[in-house]
């Protein structure tokens, strides 16, 4: 589906704060502005992980003429209020990379990783790498985040399927604030229990990087399954110090999200089911496909774009 007129649409892609995960949004902003001939696309990460500051930032962007918003909400429990406020002003709104907590989404749509599915894939890969038995530990992010709870559920499901052959240690949460926090958590974990651990599954970015580096430095035979595709993670997979990672699709979230927002804000289309949640995809990356997985990821983005055109949008 072609966007007929996007020159009056200005898209703001707003993360909750600075984090490596969102860096592909920068290039997606440039590409979507050029490819869809939009009035502008900006990427802004200055919300500082504070919902009030993010709300102020969104108001400021609206005052600058931005009229379509792709937002990673800082507070999953409060972000619907923000979405409702933006919608009441006539703006198209997408919840990107994270959906609101609960069953209600006040944005036009949510395009995000199904984090429970991604965590389940990661844990299954770790269990396989461990030979189906042993001690596994789960490193993750903010414990009060709804997404973290979904990730814990996904890992727990994979472990339960082993019928007790794999023992899961207590979850190590709240270690994704920055790389230094994650490095200390991994160092403490390996010092205390490294010799008994058979596998580490990380469902947050910084502890994934820290785990791959920490296990390699310690020389322990621990199978590491990470999240995302930081260059250090990919290098560790190629070298064999990490077994696998689960790549997400941040570029697709921002690129396809900007296109769909432009169709909505230009009033060329409406959502058939407002608030619908769409999985942006997750991809198991091992030594076998580490050099080619991005092809599959970009293909998935095009499939999501096609799904919007055929199933999710009603267009004139």
pLDDT tens digits, one per residue of 244-269: 999 999 999 999 999 999 999 999 99
- Tell me how far apart the alpha carbons of residues 152 and 135 are, in angstroms, rounded to a whole number: 16
**Residues 103-122: tens digit of each pLDDT:** 999 999 999 999 999 999 99
Provide the pLDDT for residue 1: 84
Complete DSSP assignment for 83-136: HHHHHHTT-EEEEESSPPSSS---SSEEEE--HHHHHHHHHHHHHHHTTT-EEE
Task: Write down the pTM of the prediction.
Answer: 0.91
Q: How far apart are CA 237 and CA 286, in angstroms?
A: 7
How many angstroms separate the CA atoms of 150 and 118, rounded? 10
Half-sphere exposure of 252 toward its Cβ, with a 13 Å CA cutoff?
Answer: 27
Least confident stretch, 136-145, 252-261, 295-304: 136-145
243 exposure class (CB count in 10 Å sphere: 0-12, 13-18, 19+): buried
Query: Per-residue pLDDT averaged across 43-52, rounded?
Result: 96
Alpha helices (runs of H) in 203-292, residue ranges in sequence order? 205-218, 231-239, 250-265
């Amino acid at each position: 589906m072609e966007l007929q007129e996007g020159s009056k649409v200005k898209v703001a892609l707003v993360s909750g704060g600075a984090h490596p995960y969102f860096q592909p949004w920068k290039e997606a902003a440039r590409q979507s502005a050029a490819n869809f001939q939009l009035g502008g696309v900006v990427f802004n990460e200055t919300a500082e992980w504070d919902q009030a500051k993010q709300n102020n930032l969104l108001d400021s962007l609206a005052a600058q003429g931005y009229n379509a918003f792709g937002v990673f909400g800082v507070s999953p429990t409060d972000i619907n209020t923000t979405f409702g406020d933006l919608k009441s002003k006539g703006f198209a709104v997408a919840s990107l990379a994270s959906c609101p907590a609960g069953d209600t989404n006040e944005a036009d749509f949510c395009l995000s990783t199904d984090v429970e599915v991604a965590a389940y894939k990661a844990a299954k890969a770790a269990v396989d790498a461990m030979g189906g038995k042993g001690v596994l530990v789960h490193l993750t992010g903010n414990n009060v985040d709804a997404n973290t709870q979904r990730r814990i559920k996904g890992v727990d499901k994979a472990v339960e399927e082993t019928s007790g052959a794999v023992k899961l240690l207590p979850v190590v949460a709240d270690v994704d604030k920055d790389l230094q926090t994650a490095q200390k958590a991994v160092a403490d974990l390996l010092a205390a229990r490294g010799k008994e651990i058979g596998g580490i599954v990380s469902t947050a970015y910084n502890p994934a990087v820290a785990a791959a580096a920490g296990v390699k430095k310690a020389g322990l035979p621990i199978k590491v399954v990470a999240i995302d595709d930081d260059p250090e993670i990919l290098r560790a997979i190629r070298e064999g110090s990490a077994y696998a990672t689960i790549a997400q699709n941040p570029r697709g979230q921002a690129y396809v999200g900007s296109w769909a927002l432009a169709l909505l804000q230009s009033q060329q289309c409406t959502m058939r089911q407002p608030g619908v949640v769409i999985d942006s995809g997750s991809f198991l990356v091992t030594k076998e496909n580490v050099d080619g997985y991005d092809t599959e990821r970009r293909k998935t983005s095009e499939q999501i774009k096609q799904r919007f055109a055929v199933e999710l949008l009603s267009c004139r």
